[in-house]
Copies of this chain bind each other. A is one copy, B any other.
Amino acid sequence: MPCHDSPDLEKLDLITVLRALADPVRLDIVQRLYVLGEANCAALIGSRPKSSMSHHFQVLRESGILHTRIEGVQHHNSLRLQELEIRFPGLMDSILKNTEAAQLRRQTSS
């Protein structure tokens, strides 16, 4: 059963999580996932090569930020929001709220 398993809750490390989030591509993935709920890689790839995206998904997965559910050929990714909330209360909230705000700001400005 090839199901990329995410690390346990207690093993999640703040530095690792912050480092995973501190990348524009990954923060974008996280924000889109928040909006979409669940999505396969293809839906999240813009114009970037698959190998790059696969790398970013791996970083997000190993840091514990997202979970990948494999169904046939497709990999369905979703944020581990409930677990992250337990381990790092308020963290994802503050970051997702900000990316929302940033998006709104982008849409309305100029």
Size bin of chain A's contact surface: 20 to 34
Please report which residues of chain A, range 51-88, place their CB below 8 angstroms from some CB of chain B when the two chains form the complex: 88
Q: Is the CB of B93 within 8 A of A14?
A: no
Number of copies: 2
Contacts of A98 in B (CB 8 A): 14, 88-89, 91
Rounded to whole angstroms, the CA-CA distance of A93 and B19 in the bound complex is: 18
CA A97 – CA B85 in complex, angstroms? 13
A29 within 8 A of B: no
Most chain B CB within 10 A, of A22, A88, A95, is at: A22
Q: How many angstroms from the CA of A97 to the CA of B95 in the assembled complex?
A: 15
Kindly identify, within residues 19 to 74 of chain A, every residue whose CB is under 8 Å from any CB belonging to chain B: 19, 21-24, 27
